[in-house]
Amino acid sequence: MSSLPWAPVDPRFLEHPAFSIFDRAVRERLVALGHFPEPGELAALAHGIPSSAAPWFEFEPEDALRVRRAGGFDRFIAGTARIPTRPGSYHDLFGALIWLHFPRLKSALHRMQLASSSGVRGPRENAATHFDESGVVVASSDPSVFRALGALEWPEVFWQRRAALEASTRFLGFGHGLLDALRVPQPRLMGMALFAQVSPARLALSAADFRVFLDRELSQRVPEFLAEPARLQPLPVLGVPGWSSAQSPELYADERYFRRARQRSRARAGVAFVELD
């Protein structure tokens, strides 16, 4: 939570590469607003940005009692087409902005959360929650990147092969809980990576066009792909090139963060990724 709900959004963290997931116009509007956006102001922040679909939802201040009576967050959204949003909460601000930038994918995750009629969360619902809260889309034209990350070859892929990695792969912060944590990142911060193979031509798209492409394509494939949490790869996000100023060979050799103990078993098991082209 922001300590002062009326305080403006701190512009400094928006310079972090993870926040480039948000359209430049949206980031500029956030800074220019001069105060923390109220729920009713959120949709206007994304007015006119490229999108795969028009939003079918609106934002309103959260009423915890109404949400409980509706059967929970996702059932409340399904019944009202309104997304409960806590004023002054960075966590909810980022959640709202992801809804506005990825309306199809967020809607698909929302439907996955509604799939269980018993109220007991299954593997698919858990996987959707992990991705929704902590997800990073790792989009690459080189499947060997997925194999290397799946085998926990952190120094090799993040440092020794950095130039090749930056040429073949984009890392996009998606989980709104992870984005909130990246405002003031703690040591050993972890995300959950979803691997997506794309063509070089797709990687050459502008940031906005690439986001629209991912929103459209992932929304169609994620419900089947995310059958269980194991389809996501734990990712030490402060090792992503440019995501920390402390990157060095010594950082990647720190096995307290860049763990390698499961390397052989993971390599034998293979790694799951979704093909978008």
Asked if pLDDT for residue 1 goes beyond 50, the answer is no
List pLDDT tens digits, range 86-110.
Answer: 999 999 999 999 999 999 999 999 9
Question: Do 105 and 141 belong together in one domain?
Answer: no
Question: Do 45 and 134 belong together in one domain?
Answer: no
- Which residue, 215, 211, 218, is CA-closest to 196? 218
Separation between Cα atoms, residue 114 and residue 91, nearest integer Å? 21
Sign of the CA dihedral 58, 63, 66, 72? Answer: positive
The pLDDT score that the predictor gives to residue 265 is 52
Query: Would you say residue 7 lies in a domain?
Result: no
Give me the residue label for tokens 């293979």: 270
Q: Which is more confidently placed, 158 or 6?
A: 158
* Helices (H), ranges, 183-245: 200-203, 207-225
**Residue at 264: amino acid letter:** R
Question: Do 75 and 150 belong together in one domain?
Answer: no
Number of domains in the chain: 2
* Helices (H), ranges, 34-122: 42-45, 64-70, 73-80, 90-101, 103-113
CB 195 within 8 A of CB 233: yes
Residue 35 belongs to domain spanning: 13-113
Question: Do 214 and 160 belong together in one domain?
Answer: yes
Question: Do 26 and 153 belong together in one domain?
Answer: no
Query: Last residue of some domain: 56, 91, 113?
Result: 113
Question: Do 93 and 141 belong together in one domain?
Answer: no
**Residue 67: partners with Cβ closer than 8 Å, 6 or more residues away:** 73, 76, 84
The pLDDT score that the predictor gives to residue 119 is 64
3-state helix/strand/coil string of 30-56: HHHHCCCCCHHHHHHHCCCCCCCCCCC
- Specify burial of residue 33 (Cβ count, 10 A radius: 0-12, 13-18, 19+): middle
Query: Would you say residue 5 lies in a domain?
Result: no
Question: Do 186 and 248 belong together in one domain?
Answer: yes
- Specify burial of residue 229 (Cβ count, 10 A radius: 0-12, 13-18, 19+): middle
The pLDDT score that the predictor gives to residue 269 is 59
Asked if pLDDT for residue 4 goes beyond 90, the answer is no
Query: How does residue 222 score in pLDDT terms, banded at 50, 70 and 90?
Result: very high
The pLDDT score that the predictor gives to residue 8 is 86
